[in-house]
Amino acid sequence: MRFDTVLMVDWSGGNDRGAKPVKDAIWVCRATGGVAEKPVYLRNRQVAEDWIVQTLSKLQAQGQRVLVGFDLCFAYPTGFATQLIGSEDTLALWDWFAARVTDSPQSNNRFDLAGEINAQFPGVGPFWFNGLQRDITHLPRKGTDRKDHGLPEKRAADIAIPGSFSPWQLAGAGAVGGQVIMGLPMLARLRQRFAGSLKVWPFEAPDAQIVLAETYFSTLPDLVTADAHPIRDAAQVAVYARAFSNMAPDVLADMMDVRPAPEGWVLGAGQVDTLHAALAPAPPPLRNDCFAMPQGAHWTPVDAALAHLKSHLRCVTGTQDCAIGEAAGRFLAQDAVAQRAHPPAPNSAVDGYGFAGPAAEGLNRYSLMADRSAAGAPFGGAVRKGHAIRILTGANLPKGVNTVVLQEDVQADAEAISFYGPLKKGANARDAGEDMQAGQVILTAGRKITPADVGMLAAAGIGRVTVRNRLRVGVLSTGDELRDPGDTASDGDIYDANRPMLAALFDQSGYHIIDLGRAPDDRTVLRDMLDHAATRCDVIITSGGASAGDEDHMSALLENTGSLALWRIAMKPGRPLAMGLWEGTPVFGLPGNPVAAMVCALIFASPALRVMAGGGWSAPQRNMLPAAFTKSKKDGRREYLRARITDGRVEVFPSEGSGRISGLSWATGLVELSDPAQTIHEGDLVPFLPFKSFDT
What spatial distance separates the first Cα and last Cα of the chain, rounded to whole Å? Answer: 27
Angle at 176 between CA 171 and CA 182, to 5 degrees: 90
Q: Which is nearer to Mg ion, 575 or 637 (CB)?
A: 575
Q: Is 650 exposed, middle or buried (0-12, 13-18, 19+ CB in 10 A)?
A: buried
Q: Which is nearer to Mg ion, 45 or 553 (CB)?
A: 553
The helix (H) or strand (E) run that includes residue 116 is: helix 110-119
CB neighbourhood size of 422 (10 A): 12
Query: Which residue of 93, 220, 497, 650 would you call a contact of ligand AMP, by CB under 6 A?
Result: 497
CB neighbourhood size of 457 (10 A): 22
Beta strands, E only, 191-302: 198-200, 210-214
Site for ligand AMP contains 592 (CB under 6 A) = yes
CA dihedral of 347, 349, 350, 352, whole degrees rounded to 10: -40
Shortest distance (Å) from residue 499 CB to ligand AMP: 6
Round to whole Å and give the CA distance between 28 and 49.
11
Question: By beta-carbon distance, which residue lies closest to ligand AMP?
Answer: 592
334: Cβ–Cβ under 8 A, 6 or more apart, which residues?
A: 319, 445, 465, 466
The number of residues that bind Mg ion (CB under 5 A) is 4
DSSP 108: B
Q: Which is nearer to Mg ion, 549 or 654 (CB)?
A: 549
Binding mask 587-606 for Mg ion (x = CB under 5 A): -----x--------------
Q: Which is nearer to ligand AMP, 190 or 546 (CB)?
A: 546
175: Cβ–Cβ under 8 A, 6 or more apart, which residues?
A: 129, 165, 169
Q: Which is nearer to Mg ion, 332 or 482 (CB)?
A: 482
Shortest distance (Å) from residue 187 CB to ligand AMP: 42
Q: Which is nearer to ligand AMP, 159 or 548 (CB)?
A: 548
Site for Mg ion contains 474 (CB under 5 A) = no
Binding mask 599-638 for ligand AMP (x = CB under 6 A): ----------------------------------------
Query: Which residue of 246, 320, 469, 543 would you call a contact of ligand AMP, by CB under 6 A?
Result: 543
Round to whole Å and give the CA distance between 456 and 467.
16
Site for ligand AMP contains 477 (CB under 6 A) = yes
Cβ(28)–Cβ(39) under 8 Å?
Answer: yes
- Selected range binding ligand AMP among 150-158, 321-329, 376-384, 538-546, rule: CB under 6 A: 538-546
Cβ(637)–Cβ(340) under 8 Å?
Answer: no
The number of residues that bind ligand AMP (CB under 6 A) is 17
Site for ligand AMP contains 496 (CB under 6 A) = yes
Query: Which residue of 206, 264, 268, 544 would you call a contact of ligand AMP, by CB under 6 A?
Result: 544
Query: Which residue of 190, 282, 593, 601 would you call a contact of ligand AMP, by CB under 6 A?
Result: 593
- Selected range binding ligand AMP among 127-135, 297-305, 497-505, 601-609, rule: CB under 6 A: 497-505
Q: Which is nearer to ligand AMP, 318 or 545 (CB)?
A: 545
Q: Which is nearer to Mg ion, 546 or 569 (CB)?
A: 546
Cβ(282)–Cβ(316) under 8 Å?
Answer: yes
From the list ligand AMP, Mg ion, none, which binds 598 (C-beta under 5 to 8 Å, kind-based)?
A: none
DSSP 324: G
From the list ligand AMP, Mg ion, none, which binds 497 (C-beta under 5 to 8 Å, kind-based)?
A: ligand AMP
Q: Which is nearer to Mg ion, 45 or 518 (CB)?
A: 518
**Which one-letter amino acid corresponds to residue 606?**
S
Site for Mg ion contains 544 (CB under 5 A) = yes
Residues 546-585 touching ligand AMP, rule: CB under 6 A, are 546
Cβ(464)–Cβ(321) under 8 Å?
Answer: yes
CB neighbourhood size of 342 (10 A): 20
From the list Mg ion, ligand AMP, none, which binds 494 (C-beta under 5 to 8 Å, kind-based)?
A: ligand AMP
Q: Which residue, among 214, 205, 247, 242, has the nearest Cα to 227 in the 3D structure?
A: 242
Query: Which residue of 89, 481, 515, 656 would you call a contact of ligand AMP, by CB under 6 A?
Result: 481
Cβ(612)–Cβ(586) under 8 Å?
Answer: yes
Q: Which is nearer to ligand AMP, 56 or 661 (CB)?
A: 661
Shortest distance (Å) from residue 574 CB to ligand AMP: 11
Q: 606 in helix, strand or coil?
A: helix
CB neighbourhood size of 505 (10 A): 24
Q: Which is nearer to Mg ion, 415 or 550 (CB)?
A: 550
Q: 371 in helix, strand or coil?
A: strand
Query: Which residue of 140, 352, 357, 594 would you call a contact of ligand AMP, by CB under 6 A?
Result: 594
Round to whole Å and give the CA distance between 270 and 258.
13
From the list Mg ion, ligand AMP, none, which binds 594 (C-beta under 5 to 8 Å, kind-based)?
A: ligand AMP
Round to whole Å and give the CA distance between 430 and 342.
10
Q: Which is nearer to ligand AMP, 544 or 687 (CB)?
A: 544
Q: Which is nearer to Mg ion, 408 or 550 (CB)?
A: 550
Shortest distance (Å) from residue 575 CB to ligand AMP: 6
Query: Which residue of 479, 580, 615, 620 would you call a contact of ligand AMP, by CB under 6 A?
Result: 479
- Kindly write down the DSSP assignment for every residue of 455-516, as one continuous string: HHHHHTT--EEEEEPPPEEEEEEE-TTEE-TTS---TT-EE--HHHHHHHHHHHTT-EEEEE
Site for Mg ion contains 479 (CB under 5 A) = yes
From the list ligand AMP, Mg ion, none, which binds 555 (C-beta under 5 to 8 Å, kind-based)?
A: none
Shortest distance (Å) from residue 492 CB to ligand AMP: 10
| Residues lying near ligand AMP in the complex (CB under 6 A) | 477, 479, 481-482, 494, 496-499, 543-546, 591-594
| Residues lying near Mg ion in the complex (CB under 5 A) | 479, 544-545, 592
